[in-house]
Every structure is written in structure tokens, then in C-alpha cells.
A and B are shown apart, each in its own frame.
Chain A
Amino acid sequence: MYHYLIRRLLLMFPTLFGITLVVFMVMAAAPGGISAQSLIEGQNLEPEVKKALEDYYNRLYGLDDPAPVQYLRWLNNVSPIGFTVDKDGELEGFSLTKGSDLGMSFRYGRPVLDLLAERVPVTLLLNVLSVPIIYLIAIVIGVRAATERGRSFDVGSGVTLLGLWSVPTMLAGVLLIGFFASDQYWHWFPTAGLSRREALVMPFLPHWSAWGDLLLLFAAVAVAVSLCVGISLKGGARLRMLLMAVLGLFLGGMMAAALPGEQGYLVTLVLAAALAGIFALVAYTDYAALRTGVMGIIGLFLGIAVAAHFAQGEFVRGFLLDRLWHLALPVLCLSYGSFAFLAKLTRSAVLENLQADYARTARAKGVPERLVLWRHVFRNSLLPLITVAAGLLPGLLGGSIIVEALFSIDGMGKLAVEAVQSRDRELVLSLTLISGLLTLVGYLISDICYAIADPRVSYE
């Protein structure tokens, strides 16, 4: 095992080298390659001025050197051991402790490390929020689909999740922005960025000027949530569906009324019917955990809406809430498509374990099915999910280009596009190096996880 590990680690070096080399070659050979001309802004420049600027940038970044020299110099800068260079560009000697330096980005004129330090937290924030949501929902649905295999929930959830997976991210993003973040329809969410300017001077946590409002909020939320949960748990299917459909009708009507401009009856009717249908479908599901969860969330929002409507005093949103409000749509966009794959994986893993000998033994011992599922089968089914999680590693920091572009979030994905388009040598190379490293580490971890999970796999 250790032998294998060391071999894999050593093999990473040529691969990383290959990645950066390929990227550098492609970039240098592309039309408009790596040169100072794209650094010069403004067109109305006299040739002398332009020349002077070009010379300056060439000197600063060594852009007029032949491509191999540029690459080797970058490699030397990045590697933690290597040659040190004095001010005039002469080699000084070999050092084992010079440390690695990712260099300066041309486009931003800042150290790449600074840019990464600024962008990585943003992307990480998005992913840290969306990954648990994805896993939670995928597991909840996957486990149920396995125990219900072949029945309507299995087929229905499978098709629905596959459908969600097939929705292009840009379509979802455009529709979400178009309908829920523009004042042509419902302006409930902000369109861009991560926080409003005012939020920077707001207190961190939400703040109420009147204590009564806070009490009202708690009371309304508690009542609404417990009502919804109560209906979900105690009410019969008919009652649940009826109540939820009525609620849906009411909310749909409210939504139609919230639209700017005069709306015809048709819009109101369609909206109300659609919402009623969705709510009734939720209430119809006989999967108690999912149903109760969704209805609880509906109750939560209902309570908040009621409290907001009747609140008297002033309410300061606070930095935290403002940030979450900005993150809602991007996180939704990032997560909806990923359920299908994970749920399918969970389903097949749980299925396999449900029919395993140990599960049969447990059942034979008289362990209740519920315990068999959650205590024995589920625990063993988690391993493939963990294995897959290792593959998420590069994605965690890589960022989603489309989501970040749609919502103007300055994360890693946008940085990468800008870097490639402006032929920013240092930035492109650093980004590929990092994403390459993460990909390779992800593979390694998932292979190791796989070996731990399944002792039959040997890497000798």
C-alpha cells in the first residue's frame, strides 16, 4: 500500500509538469499569444507612447523572451527549490529554501497569491453551502428510492432528478434571474454580487428595533412550522392535499397580485393552479421525512412572511442575512443539477447492501427494518459517496463559470475566464497548476477510499 502511495505521488510530478507545459504551449501558440500589447489600455495612443508602454511591460514581465525561456523561468519561480535570480536577471545560485512564488498577474498587476486569497473564499463559500444541500437531498431521495425500488417514488424521483440534471445551468440561471430577480416579474432576490454596499456598515446579525417584532417572528414561525409539520405527520393524505392545495391557491393568487402592472385572470389562475398542484403533490408524497421537511420549510417561509407583513418597528437586515439573500439563487443554480448522480449512486449502494448477507442476518435476528436500513445498510452505503466526494475537490475551488458569470460573483471561475481571455500567463498557469493538483489529489484520495472500502481491491 505504501509502495503504491509513493509511486502515485511521484507520478504526479510528470503529470503536473505535462499539464502546465501543454497549457503554456497552447497559450503561447494561440493567436494574440502572450505579449505586452494586450496590457496596453486605450487605443488613442501615439506609437511612441505605445512602444514605451510595451517596452516597459516586456521588461517587467520578461514577455519578449522566447517562449521556452518564459516557461522555464516560471517553473523555476514556482518550484520551492531552484535557482535564485538577482535584480538584473542574472543567476545567483542554487537554493533549496527559496520558496515558491506564483508571480504577478499582468492583468491585475497584483501577486497571483493575493488574487487567489481574494477569490478562493468566495467560491468556497458557494460550494460549502451547496455541497451539503446536494448530499442531504440526494441521500434522502436515494435511500428512499432504494427501499421503494420499482414503485412510483423510485421511478418518479429518478425521472425528476434526471430531468433536473438535464436542465442547462444557463437556462436555470436565466429563468431564475428573469423571473425572481428582475422587476419585470417578482423582484425578490438581488441579481448580482454578494452583498449590498449598505450591508457593509450594517451590524452583523439582523436587528429589530422593537422586541415585539422579534417575538412575533418567533411566534409566527413556530405556529406556521408546527401547523405544517403537524398536518404532514398527523393528517390523512386527503386532508393534507386539500389544505396544501388551498394554501397553494392562496399563495399563487398573492404572487399574481405581486406582479407589476395589471394581470389578467388567466395569469392568476395558472399561477394559483400551478402552486396548488405542486403543494398538493408534496402533500401527496407518502415519504414522511421528505414531505415533512418540505412542508416545514414552506411553513417557515410562511411564518416569516406573515411576521414581516405585520411587523411594526424597523428591521435591519444585517450583514449575514444580506449575504445569504444574495447567495440564495446562485446556490440553487449550483445544486439542482447534481442530485441525480448522487441519488442514483446512493440508490444502487443501498440496494446492494440491502440484499447483502449481513442485512439478511440482521433481519433474521429480528432487528426492525428501520434499524437494519439506517444502522447497518446506510452506514455501509456511505463509502461510495465519500469516494465520489474526493472527485469534487477540484470543483470546490474551481468554481462554476456560468453561475459566476450570470450572477456577477467574483469567484475562481470568472477569474479563470478573464485570465484566459487576457492571456495572463502567470494567472493561467497558476490556476491550471492548482486545479491539476486538486484533480490528481482527488483521484488519489478516491482510489485510497476505494481500497479501504473494498478490501478485495489491491494495489500491489
Chain B
Amino acid sequence: MSEGGAVNTVPVTPKARAQRGYLSQAVREAFVDWGTRLGALWIGVLIFIAVFAPFLANSHPLLLSEAGQVRSPLLEYLSAADVTLLVAFFSALALLWVPGTVRSKLLAWLAILALGGLLSWLLISPPKLSIYEQYRERQASGQYDWVITAPIPYSAKDYLRDYGAAGLEAPLASEERRHWLGTDENGADVLSRMIHATRIALGIGLVATGIAMLIGTIIGGLMGYFSGVVDMIGMRLVEIFEAIPVLFLLLTFVAFFGRNLYIMMVIIGITSWTGYARYVRAEFLKLRQQEFVQAAVACGLPLHSILFRHMLPNGMAPVLVAVSFSVASAILAEATLSFLGLGLVDDPSWGQMLNQAVQAATFNWWMAAFPGGAIFLTVFAYNLIGESMRDAIDPYLKKSSR
């Protein structure tokens, strides 16, 4: 059941008020809703988990003492992406306390992020191969004086080779090891994989939506501004992309580019931009008749200035409302791909774990319940936020609900 039929019926736009103020007001109103707060809380928790994943679940001990020498394999094995995420998180936290406008804070954060990312990619090169069982083996043979491990002492890709287990153990079934949520078909700890998969879920949602929004806004904006022939050709393009079964594109693109996380983000992004294009087009068609746009054209401002500085900020409201739903559907798209056996192999993802609940001979409830539950909660959270944003921005419903 798609929303395709309803997409082209977007008649509601508030005109009288300044859009930006309106949007922030809408956001504020949305957050009055307890559902939105819960949703935001859950996503906040996920962000926290994603940032601190290596410290929450890792086979490399946090600290250990070997023959009197203290070292931290966890920090040695920290990857550039881990460090970048940490930088992003702490700088965002710090900036929240610093006074200043939202805009300048955002710019500062992006600058820090870029710098931190660049530096960590250049400077940090952890060993490329990890042999996870070495710590357990050495600890068992008494080579370490003492060891402090992460709360969950298993990495996502630690398949517990030293135990030679065949995997798929129910939660807490094993006596010697503690797997709170059981193990998957390869013997890896499900909780650990779920923690590390949080990054993928959040990342795929945001990046895929970002890509879709970018393409959709540009194409939709051009269609709306120029109308006429450009609009007609653009609408055909939109229709073509809507009419081609998404699955076909996904299947062939996976065959094309292989299964890489980033490529999956791009694939999901470029198969879901058409909705944005329609929204932006409808907005721009209305805006281009208005005085301030006409004035900007009359002043001889360059096209990009008219489009992006004058029209875009005024036409973004419906797009931003759709973002939350779009993130949810991107997460579902990843889960669907993984479910069809086209997801990641080694890297953890919720959809791929859910897939194992079906594939094994018997029904492994923990492989369905936990990763499936995580997908559900995340999608639900985004949908809740999106729903209250939509309600808040729709003046008619708002009026009537009072």
C-alpha cells in the first residue's frame, strides 16, 4: 500500500507566516506530544549506543596488564570512524553549552567534524586483522595479571572461534559464557552485533534520506521554477522512477556494485527521491508567482541565488516533515534487502540478523524478537516524530484539535 496516490495532493501551505519561524514553532509544538518525546528519547539512546559501541561491546579488553605493563587493546584497535563519531558527539555536547545562534553552532560543529574526521582518517591506522580469541586464550593461560573488559566482552565480528561452537544458542543457554540475547548462526553475540548495528541503522536512515532529499529538491526545484517543458520532462522522469519497481533497481544495483554499506545507502537514496521532487515542485510552482520571487528575478539575481537563497527556505516545510518518515522507510528498506539475502555479510545489521530467524531449520525466536524489535522501535520512533510534525504543521488539523 503506497502513499503514491496521495503524494500529489499537497494543497496545504501556510503562507502568511515566515516559514522558518513557523517551522521551529512546529517543532516545538510537536515536542509537546509525549509520543514524540518518547520517540526522540529512543533515538537519543540509539545515538549514544552508536557513538560508544566500541566501549560497550568489544573483545579487545579496555585495559590489561601483561607482565607488569599496562596497555589498552581497545584503544589500539579504535578505528578512524570510531574516533570521528566520538569527536562529533563531544563537540556537539560542548556546543550545546556555548551561547550562540543555531546557525553558527551548526557551522562550528560541521567545521570541527570535518577537521576531526580528516585528522583521524590520516593519523589513525589500527591493525587490519583482529584475532579476537587471543585475549581469552592468553587470559586462560594466565599471561595477564588482570584484565578489564567492556561490559559485553565480545566484538560484533567475534565468532568465538576458540569455543568451536556452531552458533544459534538461545539467550543465556550457555553455562560458560554469558550471551544476554543468544548467539547468531555464526556464533557471534547477538547483543554485541545489535549494538554495533545501531550505527548502520542510524547511518543508513540519515544518509539515504539526505541523498534522496538532495536529488529530490534539486530536480523538484528546477521543475517548479521553470515549469513548462522542463516540468513536463521532469515529471516524466519522476514517473519513470516511480513506476520502475524499486526492488528491480535494488537487486540489479547490488549485483552492480557489490554489498557495501555506503553503496547500500546510495542505492536506497537514489530509489526514493521522487516524493521530495513532487513536494518541492508543488511548493515552487506556488512560490514562483509570489512577489518576493518576482522581485528577485526583476533584480537580476543569479539563478542559484533565487532558487536556493530565496525560494528554497520558503518551500522546505513539507519536505522537512517528510524526512522523519523517509528515515523510517530507509531503515525498512535496508531490512528488506537483508531479508532477501542481499545485505551485508560480515558487518552486523538488524535486518541480516532478522533474516536468520527464518533461514535456520527451526524458528529461533531470539533472532526474530530482538533485532526485529529494534527495527520496530526505531521505525516507530521516527514515525511518531514524523506524525506529530505533520500534525503540527497542518494548520487545519491543529485548529480542529483544540
Contacts and interface: CB of A to CB of B under 8 A. Distances in A.
Contacts of B354: 168, 170-171, 174
Contacts of B256: 29-31
Contacts of B396: 348, 352
Contacts of A178: 357, 363, 365, 368
Nearest to B33: A155
B401 A149 contact: yes
B70 to A, nearest CB: 45
B243 interface: yes
A134 interface: yes
Interface in B242-258: 242-245, 247-249, 251-252, 255-256
Interface string B1-20: 11111101100000000000
Contact of A149 (B1, B8, B375, B400): B400
B74 to A, nearest CB: 33
B47 interface: no
A70 B229 CA distance: 31
B384 interface: yes
A178 B363 CA distance: 5
B52 interface: no
A431 B357 CA distance: 31
Nearest to A171: B372
Interface in A394-441: 394-395, 398, 401-402, 405-406, 416-417, 420-421, 428, 431-432, 435-436, 439-440
Contact of A420 (B242, B251, B358): B251
A387 B9 contact: yes
Interface in B1-47: 1-6, 8-9, 35
A428 B248 contact: yes
B372 A174 contact: yes
Contacts of A446: 5, 8
Contacts of A392: 1-2, 5
Nearest to A339: B1
Contacts of A168: 332, 335-336, 354, 372, 375-376, 379
Contacts of A420: 247-248, 251-252
A439 B248 contact: no
Which of the listed residues A184, A351, A391 has the most CB atoms from chain B within 10 Å of its own CB?
A391
Nearest to B372: A171
A439 B35 CA distance: 35
Contacts of B351: 170
Interface stretch (B61-69, B126-134, B232-240, B301-309): B232-240
B77 interface: no
Contact of A171 (B1, B35, B368, B401): B368
A384 B5 CA distance: 10
Contacts of A348: 396-397
B1 A175 contact: no
A8 to B, nearest CB: 11
A26 B252 contact: yes
Contacts of B236: 11, 14-15, 18
A280 B379 CA distance: 29
A258 interface: no
A165 B335 CA distance: 15
Interface string B188-231: 00000000000000000000000000000000000000000000
Contacts of B332: 168
A163 interface: yes
Contacts of A416: 245, 247-248
Nearest to A391: B5
A341 interface: yes
B340 interface: yes
A73 B362 CA distance: 48
Contact of B247 (A170, A401, A443): A401
B245 to A, nearest CB: 6
A174 B357 contact: yes
Contacts of A83: none
A373 B34 CA distance: 30
B340 A391 contact: no
Given A30-B255, A162-B380, A182-B363, A171 B5 contact: no
Given A174-B354, A177-B363, A178-B365, A439 B372 contact: no
A166 B328 contact: yes
A432 B252 CA distance: 14
A187 to B, nearest CB: 11
A97 interface: no
B397 A15 contact: no
A113 interface: no
B387 interface: yes
A447 B401 contact: no
Given A162-B380, A351-B400, A395-B1, A170 B339 contact: yes
Contacts of B383: 162, 165-166
A26 B241 CA distance: 13
Contacts of A355: 400
Given A170-B354, A174-B354, A178-B357, A22 B375 contact: no
B5 A390 contact: yes
Contacts of B248: 23, 26, 416, 420, 428, 432
A450 interface: yes
Contact of B240 (A22, A351, A389, A421): A22
A31 B9 CA distance: 40
Interface string A173-199: 011011100101100000000000000
B357 A163 contact: no
A170 B341 CA distance: 13
B52 to A, nearest CB: 26
Contact of A167 (B243, B245, B339, B376): B376
16 contacts: A15-B236, A30-B252, A150-B401, A168-B335, A168-B336, A174-B354, A177-B358, A178-B357, A179-B363, A351-B400, A390-B5, A392-B1, A420-B247, A421-B251, A432-B243, A439-B243
The 10 A-B residue pairs whose C-beta atoms are closest, nearest first, are A391-B5, A178-B363, A171-B372, A436-B243, A166-B380, A338-B1, A166-B379, A439-B243, A18-B240, A170-B339
Given A166-B383, A168-B332, A446-B8, 16 more contacts: A22-B240, A23-B244, A23-B248, A26-B252, A27-B252, A149-B400, A150-B401, A166-B328, A166-B376, A171-B368, A174-B363, A391-B5, A391-B6, A392-B2, A420-B252, A435-B243
